[in-house]
């Protein structure tokens, strides 16, 4: 159901950048699958392409599940984002989240059930929060220690992203491509091992030269798999950069407007204006960090927030 909702969102919201990315991935899969299967499973080119597309669709489906969200968290670091276990943390966060969710669901009925959304603790520095997929919201340790009004502003912003399926985009690119790469490598390894096994166990006396040839062939395949892995990694980073440029930055303003509608516009401005540590963890974190802070605050001011940074002149 969730996967179908996301597919509808791609067309209803005119996500041209993401659609182009998916089309390019389909072309890439259609090119790579026959190259990998032809040597071991000679046959019809169209059949190989069909196999690749079916496997890609399966990968995308798995990506849009809670398992895909778990993979995303682990790809950024095994202990980077973990379930909140301390009772005192839960006693502070759960009432805040319940309040924000009850307000948000009145404005947007497309939110998942409250019980389906889990809160996680992120070991990243700074005051911040971000959502992953449809059921994960991660908040930093510093935000957990902040005043409740800042937590409310951050959570309302992330619920807006979840409601609009914005948070699925990075999940689709990072985890989706990870599954595709892993699937290709697994198929290649399986077919390679199967070929070697058949060569040695097929009852044929294999001469020494043939053994050397098989080993060399295995090494060449191993290098090919490493090359595919590197190329898929670069391809994923390109996809993230494109989605950040054409999609995610604009969605930050939409989520800010939702936060303003809930009455936390001033608190969000204060939170955005607080000094943040420099993030050095790559394109994924650039996307989660939220784009141009000053432009977002300016837009919130146009909506009607009364926030003014202390020490700056205001209109008389």
User: Which of 281 and 85 is assigned the larger pLDDT?
Assistant: 85
91 pLDDT higher than 60: yes
14 pLDDT higher than 80: no
Give percent of the chain with pLDDT exceeding 70: 69
pLDDT category of residue 3 using cuts at 50, 70 and 90 = low
pTM over 0.85: no
Determine the pLDDT at residue 285.
Answer: 45
pLDDT tens digits, residue range 200-253?
555 455 555 555 666 666 676 667 667 766 777 777 777 776 666 666 677 888
Structure tokens at 226: 């490493």
User: At a CB cut-off of 8 Å and minimum separation 6, what does 233 contact?
Assistant: 181
Helix (H) or strand (E) holding 50, with range, is helix 45-63
Spacing of C-alpha 159 from chain mean position: 16
Determine the pLDDT at residue 4.
Answer: 57
| Cα 298-303-308 angle, rounded to 5 deg | 50
Backbone CA torsion sign across 301, 306, 311, 313: positive
User: Which of 43 and 300 is assigned the larger pLDDT?
Assistant: 300
Rounded to the nearest integer, the mean pLDDT of the chain is 77
94 pLDDT higher than 90: yes
d(CA 148, CA 128): 13
pLDDT category of residue 2 using cuts at 50, 70 and 90 = low
Q: Which of 36-45, 63-72, 165-174, 298-307 has the lowest mean pLDDT?
A: 36-45
188 pLDDT higher than 50: yes
Determine the pLDDT at residue 178.
Answer: 76
d(CA 187, CA 173): 21
pLDDT category of residue 199 using cuts at 50, 70 and 90 = low
pLDDT category of residue 5 using cuts at 50, 70 and 90 = low
* Residue whose C-alpha is closest to residue 138's, from 72, 220, 41: 72
pLDDT category of residue 197 using cuts at 50, 70 and 90 = low
pLDDT tens digits, residue range 244-298?
666 667 788 889 999 999 999 999 999 988 876 654 444 444 444 556 788 899 9
Structure tokens at 29: 């899969």
């Amino acid at each position: 159901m969730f996967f179908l909702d996301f597919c509808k969102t791609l067309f209803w919201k005119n996500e041209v950048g993401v659609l182009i990315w998916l089309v390019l991935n389909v072309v890439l899969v259609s090119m790579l699958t026959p190259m990998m299967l032809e040597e071991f499973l000679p046959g019809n080119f169209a059949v190989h392409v069909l196999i690749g597309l079916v496997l890609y669709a399966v990968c995308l489906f798995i990506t849009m599940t809670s398992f895909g969200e778990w993979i995303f968290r682990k790809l950024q670091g095994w202990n980077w984002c973990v379930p909140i276990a301390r009772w005192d943390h839960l006693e502070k966060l759960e009432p805040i989240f319940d309040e924000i969710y009850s307000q948000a669901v009145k404005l947007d009925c497309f939110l998942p059930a409250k019980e389906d959304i889990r809160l996680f603790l992120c070991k990243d520095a700074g005051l911040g929060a971000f959502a992953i997929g449809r059921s994960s919201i991660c908040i930093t340790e510093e935000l957990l220690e902040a005043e409740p009004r800042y937590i409310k502003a951050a959570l309302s912003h992330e619920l807006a992203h979840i409601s609009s399926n914005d948070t699925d985009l990075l999940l689709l690119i990072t985890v989706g491509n990870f599954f595709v790469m892993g699937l290709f490598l697994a198929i290649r390894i399986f077919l390679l091992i199967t070929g070697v096994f058949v060569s040695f166990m097929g009852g044929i006396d294999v001469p020494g030269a043939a053994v050397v040839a098989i080993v060399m062939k295995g090494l060449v395949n191993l290098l090919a798999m490493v090359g595919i892995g590197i190329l898929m990694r670069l391809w994923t980073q390109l996809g993230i950069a494109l989605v950040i440029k054409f999609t995610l930055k604009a969605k930050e303003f939409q989520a800010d407007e939702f936060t303003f509608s809930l009455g936390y516009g001033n608190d969000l401005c204060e939170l955005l204006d607080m000094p943040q540590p420099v993030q050095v963890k790559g394109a994924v974190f650039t996307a989660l960090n939220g784009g141009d802070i000053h432009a977002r605050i300016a837009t919130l001011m146009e909506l009607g927030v009364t926030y003014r940074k202390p020490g700056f002149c205001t209109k008389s």
